[in-house]
Amino acid sequence: MKRRDFVGLTGLAAGSLLLPSIPGFGSGLLVPAERLLEPGMDVAMKKRLADVALNAATSAGASYADVRIGRYLNQGIFTREKQVQNIASSESQGVGVRVIANGTWGFASTNQITDEGIAKAAQLAVAIAKANSKVQKEPVKLVPQKGYGVVSWKTPITQNAFEVPIAQKVDLLMETNAKALAGGASFVNSALFQVNEQKYFASTDGSYIDQDVHRIWPTFTVTAIDRASGKFRSRPAMSASMGLGYEYLTPSAKEKIAGPAGSDVIGYKQRYDILEDVTNATKQVKQKLTAKSVTPGKYDLVLDPHHLGLTIHESVGHPLELDRVLGYEANYAGTSFADLAWKAKNIPYGSKAVNIVADKLQPGSLGAVGYDDEGVKTGQWNLIEQGKLVDYQKIRDQAHMVGQDHSDGCCYAQSWQDVQFQRMPNVSLQPGKAKLSVDDMVRGVDKGIYIAGNGSFSIDQQRYNFQFGGIVFYAIEKGKITGMLEDVAYQANTQEFWNSCAASCDESDYRLVGFFNDGKGQPSQSSAVSHGSATTRFNGVNVINTARKIG
Amino acid sequence: MAILSQSEAQAILTKVLSFSKADECEASLSGNIGGNVRTARNTISTSGANDNVSLAVESRFGKRSGVATCNQFDDATLRNCVQRAEEIARLAPESPEYMPLLGPQQYVAAPDSFSQRTAAINPDYRATQVAAGMQLCDQQKLSSAAFLEDSAGFRAVRNSKGLQAYQQRSGITYSVTVRTPDGTGSGYATADYNDASKLDTTALTATAAKKAAMSREAKAIEPGKYTVIMEPAALVANTDASLLAALMGALDARNADEGRSFLSKKGGGNKKGEKLFDERVTIYSDPTNPEIADLTFSGDGRPHQKTTWIEKGVVKNLYTSRYWAQKAGIPDIPRPNGWIMEGGTQSLEDMIKGTAKGILVTRLWYIRPVDPQTLLYTGLTRDGTFYIENGKIKHPVKNFRFNESPIIMLNNLEAIGKPVRMGGNLVPPLKIRDFTFTSLSDAV
C-alpha cells in the first residue's frame, strides 16, 4: 500500500508526517472494535476450503499448489495533543492461491470465501501461469518440502491488545500527550498500532498449518518550535514495533537499559515505558533546538541498538537477500554488491567482531513465526561469521540456485491477496563475548559521537554507499559524554563501515528494534522485521553536517 | 461488476443512504479491475490480477463520526454496513475538528480519464507487452527486469446533504531496468498513461538498453557541486519519494502556520506570497488537462479546480483541510492529484547541446528527508549517469550521493525543458547549477 492511501484513509494528511502505512488497512474492511474479538473460521472449515483450492488447481493442470486463507485484523489509534484524531479497526479476509503450471508461477486471490469463489481463483491462477509460460524460459524448481500434516503455532503473547478496552488505550496515549505538553512541547502526535494475522496455509505437499501472529507498535513524535528563530525540531519515540501483545506497554525495570552516563538515553528491551520515554523526549527535543551543530570530520561512533538495527537492516539484511543477489529485484529495490562472485572472493564483509545471524525464532521479534508463508518450518542460520560472508536468505524456488537442498523458511506475503516471496528474516548482530558496558565503551573513545535512535536513512541499489541520521546525538570527548549535538549524519561504504567495527557491548545490552514497513517487490509489499544488537563501536567514520540555509 | 456505471453506482448509494438513521451520512463506492506482471533476467517472475468494489459509509451523530466498509452489495450487507458505521460513530469521541458534510458541489466537466483500451487488458496482453522488451534484450545480450501494472475503475460519492459525484479513470505504468551481463552498465526508462494504447514498451526498453550499454566502464569523478541536467524521472518517481514531489507535499497550510514547515515564518505566520524560487518556476494543477486527466473531486468531496501553487517563483496557494481553512480563515483548497510544472520548448537533447560541462542524471533513488526545516533530502543517482562536455555526452560517471533541497535546487535553475508525463504529473527536464554531490557510490 502506498503511504498516500493510508493517510487518506485515516484523515491524517496534516500534522501526521510521521505516521507510516501499515498493511491491512488498505484492503481491510472497517469494522467495530468488538468484531476483532470474534473468533475466525473454524479450523476444520478452513481445511475443507483449502482442499477445494488444491483440488481445483490440480484438476486445472497445476503440478504444485498452495493456498492461504487469511484473516488480518488491524487497529490504529491516532491522537494529537488533547484530541483523538481517529480510531480505525479493520478486518480483511480472503484466500490467495499460488500454483505452478507448465513450470510457471501463477497467483490469484479472492474475497469470496466459498467453494465456488475459491475454485475460480485457483483456476484463474492456473490460467495466468499458462499464459505466462508461453514467454517463460527457466522453469520454476522447488526444493523438496515434506508436509507437516495438521499443525499450529501462536505468538506467545500474555495479553491480546484487541482485548484491552479502547478507552484504556486512548487514556494511555492522552496521558503521553499530556506529559509532552506539560513539559513544554509545541506539538505531540501519538499512535498505537495493533496487528493480528490469522493465517491458514495448505499445500499439495500435505501441510495444513494454522497460525495466529500478533504485533504491536506504540509510537509518538514530540515537536518543539522556537517561534523567534523559526527553528523546529522533532523527537520520535524510542519504542520498537514488536511481536508482543499489550504486555509490551507494561513498564518493567529489568527491561530498561541506560545509555552512557551524561546522555539521558534509556533503551527498552521486551517492555516499554511510554510515559518515561515521552518525558525524556520532551526534554531532549528542547535541547535539540540549541544543541551545538556538529563539526564535520572523522569520528568514532558508538551506536545504540535502536539506531544500529536500521543500519544492519539496510547494509546487511538487504544485500544478503538472494532474490536481489540474483537480479530479481533489479527494476525496483535493486541488486547487491555481495553477489555470488563477490562471495567467492572471500573479501571480508566486516571485522572479526562481526557475527550476524538470521532467524525467525527470537521471542518478541517481528520475524518470529512457526512456519513461513510457503509452509517451511522456521529456524536460525549464520549470515556472517567473524566478518566473513557465509550465507544468504533463501526460499523454496531459490535454494537450488545456490546448491542448497532446503529452504531457509523466510517466504512472506503481506496479506492473503498478495503473492508470497522472499522477505528478510530477523537479522541480528551478536553481542560481544567479553563483558563490556556502554560506559566502558565510551570511556575508551577519544573523539566520538554517541547516536541513539534511528532517523534518516538512504542507501544505494547495490548497498555500497549509505547515509544515516539518528534521533539524539552526543559528543564524546576523551572518554566522556560532553553534550548534545545536532545536524549529524554519517556516510560510509558498507564494507569499510563493518570492517571498522571495533567491539560490541555484552549480552546485557542486547535488544531488538523492529520495523513494520520494510518495502520490496512490485507491487510493493510491506514486511515486518526485527534486528537485535548491543551498543557497538565503529572507528573513524565520516560524519557530515546536514544544516543548510534557505531563503 | 468492478466498473459500475453512474446510474448503477448512484442506485446503490441511494439505497445505502435510505438505510441511515444518523444525523449525516456519506457513502462512497470504489471499484477497480486490473493486473500486473513482473519480469527479471529476461523472463517472467510473478504476476497477479485483482477485481474489487468496496463501499465506505461514514455516519455522524453530532460531532461523532464512524466509518465502516463492505464489499458485498445485497440489501442485508448494505444495511449491516450502515449499522456498523452508526455503532462506531456512537462510540467515537467528539471531534473538535468536526466539519459538516458538504452539500451539492459543482465539478469541472469530467476529462477523459478513462480508457476502454486499458479496461480491456487481459493476461495475454500483459505477457505480450513484456515479452517485446525481453526479446529485444535477448537479441542484444542484455538482462532486463520490468514491471507492468494496469487498473481501470470508478469512484462514486453521495451524501445526505445532496452531494453527488461520479467518475471513471484508468491507468497503466511500465518501468524497465536493463543491465549488461557483466553488471557494469545499467539503464532505466518508465512511462505512465491513462490510455494503454499510448504505451510503447519496446521503445522504453530500447531507451533503457541504450543507457545500459552507454553506462559501462563509468569513470569516477570527484564529488562536489556540479551543473546537472535532471531527466523528468530524476525529479519525480512513481515508485519512491522524489525531490519535486517532496516540495509539492510540503505545501500544507496547517504545518506552515503551526511553525513546522519550510514555509513557516520567523515569529509566526507563513510565507505565502513570498518569492522563494527562481522566477521561471511556475507550478499549477489542472484536473482537466487531457494528458494527466484525473478525478475532479477530492476524497472529501471538494472540487479540484485549476490552482496555481507557485507562480514565477512566488508561493501563491497552500492546500488545507476544510477544518484548517475555516479556522485560519484561508482559501479552502484540497491537495491536488497531479500537477504541472511549466516548461520551455527545449528537448533533453537540446539541453545537453547547450551545456559546456555538466552531468546528465537519468534517475534518483532512495530519497529520504534529512532536515524538514530546509527540506534537505539525500539520495543517489542510478541507472545512467553521464558526464557532458561541450554539448555532448562524453562518458559515463560513477553514481553519486547527493544532499540537496528542492528549494535550493529551484533557485539554481539554469534551463527548463519540455514537460512530459511522469507519475501522473507533467514534469520538464531541468538544468540546475551547483547541485551538491557529497560522495561516490560503486553501485551500478
| Residue B313 and residue B432 share a domain | yes
Q: For chain B, how many structural domains are there in total?
A: 2
| Residue B184 and residue B306 share a domain | no
Arithmetic mean of pLDDT, A379-393 = 98
Would you call A391 an interface residue with chain B, using a CB distance cutoff of 8 Å? no
What is the rounded CA–CA span in Å between residue B377 and residue A462? 20
**In this structure, what DSSP letter does residue A333 have?**
T
Q: How confident is the model at residue A27 (pLDDT cuts 50, 70, 90)?
A: low
Q: How confident is the model at residue A26 (pLDDT cuts 50, 70, 90)?
A: low
Which one is predicted more confidently, B1 or A533?
A533
Cell of B319: 492546500
In a domain, residue B328? The reply is: no
Arithmetic mean of pLDDT, B207-234 = 97
In a domain, residue B33? The reply is: yes
| Residue B437 and residue B297 share a domain | yes
Partner-chain residue, chosen from A339, A456, A465, that has the shortest CB–CB distance to B401? A465
Domain of B112: which CATH number?
3.30.2290.10
- Quick one: pLDDT at residue B76? 94
Residues whose CB is less than 8 angstroms from the CB of residue A390 and which lie 6 or more positions away in sequence, other chains included: A382, A383, A384
In a domain, residue B259? The reply is: no
What is the rounded CA–CA span in Å between residue B275 and residue B279? 8
- Quick one: pLDDT at residue A14? 28
| Residue B190 and residue B303 share a domain | no
Q: How confident is the model at residue A32 (pLDDT cuts 50, 70, 90)?
A: confident
| Residue B98 and residue B115 share a domain | yes
Question: How is the beta sheet containing A388-389 ordered, strand by strand?
Answer: A388-389, A380-385, A356-359, A426-429
What is the rounded CA–CA span in Å between residue A358 and residue A423? 12
**d(CA B295, nearest CA chain A) in Å:** 15
- Strands A480-486 and A292-293 come out as parallel
| Residue B302 and residue B232 share a domain | yes
| Residue B79 and residue B23 share a domain | yes
Instruction: Quick: pLDDT tens for A143-167.
Output: 999 999 999 999 999 999 999 999 9
Element (H, E) at B365: strand B357-371
Q: Which fold has domain A3-290?
A: PmbA/TldD fold (3.30.2290)
Instruction: Quick: pLDDT tens for A411-448.
Output: 999 999 999 999 999 999 999 999 999 999 999 999 99
Q: Give residue A253's identity as a one-letter amino acid code.
A: A
- β-sheet bridge partners, residue A480: A477
- Quick one: pLDDT at residue A33? 87
Confirm if A199 and A373 have CB atoms less than 8 A apart. yes
Would you call A83 an interface residue with chain B, using a CB distance cutoff of 8 Å? yes
pLDDT over 70 percentage in chain B: 100
Instruction: Quick: pLDDT tens for B2-37.
Output: 799 999 999 999 999 999 999 999 999 999 999 999
Give me chain B's average pLDDT, please.
Answer: 95
Range of the domain at B84: 6-211
Residues whose CB is less than 8 angstroms from the CB of residue B186 and which lie 6 or more positions away in sequence, other chains included: A330, B177, B178, B179, B180, B211, B212, B215, B382, B383, B384, B444
What is the rounded CA–CA span in Å between residue A11 and residue A4? 10
Q: How confident is the model at residue A10 (pLDDT cuts 50, 70, 90)?
A: very low
Q: Residues of A with CB below 8 A from B48's CB?
A: 107-109, 128, 418-419, 523
Partner-chain residue, chosen from B177, B268, B408, that has the shortest CB–CB distance to A227? B268
| Residue B429 and residue B306 share a domain | yes
Arithmetic mean of pLDDT, A45-62 = 98
- Quick one: pLDDT at residue A24? 46
- Quick one: pLDDT at residue B1? 61
What is the rounded CA–CA span in Å between residue B185 and residue A83? 53
- Quick one: pLDDT at residue B240? 83
Instruction: Quick: pLDDT tens for B279-297.
Output: 999 999 999 999 999 999 9
Is the confidence at residue A244, as pLDDT, over 70?
yes
Partner-chain residue, chosen from A108, A166, A465, that has the shortest CB–CB distance to B443? A465
Would the CB atoms of A460 and B365 count as touching at under 8 Å? yes
**In this structure, what DSSP letter does residue B303 have?**
B
Would the CB atoms of B40 and A109 count as touching at under 8 Å? no
Rounded to two decimals, what is the model's pTM?
0.95
Write out the DSSP string of A190-252.
EEEEEEEEEEEEEETTTEEEEEEEEEEEEEEEEEEEETTTTEEEEEE-----BS--GGGGS--
Would the CB atoms of B93 and A83 count as touching at under 8 Å? yes
What is the rounded CA–CA span in Å between residue A94 and residue A28? 10
Q: Residues of A with CB below 8 A from B131's CB?
A: 135
Q: How confident is the model at residue A21 (pLDDT cuts 50, 70, 90)?
A: very low
| Residue B162 and residue B232 share a domain | no
Is the confidence at residue B180, as pLDDT, over 50?
yes
- Quick one: pLDDT at residue B232? 97
**Total residue length of chain B:** 444
Q: Residues of B with CB below 8 A from A464's CB?
A: 441-443
| Residue B165 and residue B145 share a domain | yes
pLDDT over 70 percentage in chain A: 95
In a domain, residue B257? The reply is: no
In a domain, residue B120? The reply is: yes
Would you call A380 an interface residue with chain B, using a CB distance cutoff of 8 Å? no
Q: How confident is the model at residue A334 (pLDDT cuts 50, 70, 90)?
A: very high
- Among B143, B177, B127, B139, residue whose Cα is nearest residue A135: B127
Instruction: Quick: pLDDT tens for B109-129.
Output: 877 999 999 999 998 899 999
- Strands A297-303 and B164-179 come out as unpaired
Q: Which sign, positive or negative, has the C-alpha torsion A158, A161, A165, A169?
A: positive
Arithmetic mean of pLDDT, A54-80 = 96
In a domain, residue B267? The reply is: no
pLDDT over 90 percentage in chain B: 93
- Quick one: pLDDT at residue A18? 30
What is the rounded CA–CA span in Å between residue A379 and residue A408? 7
Q: How confident is the model at residue B52 (pLDDT cuts 50, 70, 90)?
A: confident
Arithmetic mean of pLDDT, A463-479 = 98
Measured distance between the N- and C-terminal CA atoms of chain A, rounded to whole angstroms: 36
Would you call A167 an interface residue with chain B, using a CB distance cutoff of 8 Å? no
Partner-chain residue, chosen from B267, B378, B443, that has the shortest CB–CB distance to A456? B378
Instruction: Quick: pLDDT tens for B98-112.
Output: 999 999 999 998 779
**Buried b / exposed e across B369-378, counting CB within 10 Å, b at 16+?**
bbbbbbbbbb
What is the rounded CA–CA span in Å between residue A384 and residue A349? 8
SS (H, E, C) B174-229: EEEEEECCCCCCEEEEEEEECCHHHCCHHHHHHHHHHHHHHCCCCECCCCCEEEEE
Instruction: Quick: pLDDT tens for B301-346.
Output: 999 999 999 999 999 999 999 999 999 999 999 999 999 999 999 9
Confirm if A107 and A126 have CB atoms less than 8 A apart. no
What is the rounded CA–CA span in Å between residue A28 and residue A21? 13
- Quick one: pLDDT at residue A25? 53
**Total residue length of chain A:** 551
Is the confidence at residue A287, as pLDDT, over 60?
yes
- Boundary residue ending a domain (B161, B187, B211): B211
In a domain, residue B231? The reply is: yes
Would the CB atoms of B443 and A460 count as touching at under 8 Å? yes
- β-sheet bridge partners, residue A57: none
Q: Would you list the domain boundaries of chain A?
A: 3-290, 293-545
Lowest mean pLDDT across A10-24, A200-214, A288-302: A10-24
| Residue B138 and residue B277 share a domain | no
What is the rounded CA–CA span in Å between residue B189 and residue B201? 9
| Residue B244 and residue B207 share a domain | no
**In this structure, what DSSP letter does residue A340 have?**
H
- Quick one: pLDDT at residue A268? 98
Q: Residues of B with CB below 8 A from A487's CB?
A: 371
Instruction: Quick: pLDDT tens for B346-395.
Output: 999 999 999 999 999 999 999 999 999 999 999 999 999 999 999 999 99
Confirm if B264 and A232 have CB atoms less than 8 A apart. yes
Would the CB atoms of B68 and A29 count as touching at under 8 Å? yes
Cell of B381: 543517482
Report the chain B residue with the minimal C-alpha distance to residue A138: B43
- Quick one: pLDDT at residue B50? 79
Q: Residues of B with CB below 8 A from A465's CB?
A: 380, 399, 401, 439-443
Q: How confident is the model at residue B62 (pLDDT cuts 50, 70, 90)?
A: very high
Q: Residues of A with CB below 8 A from B407's CB?
A: 550-551
Would you call A487 an interface residue with chain B, using a CB distance cutoff of 8 Å? yes
Write out the DSSP string of B21-50.
-SSEEEEEEEEEEEEEEEEETTEEEEEEEE
Is the confidence at residue B238, as pLDDT, over 90?
no
Confirm if B150 and B35 have CB atoms less than 8 A apart. yes
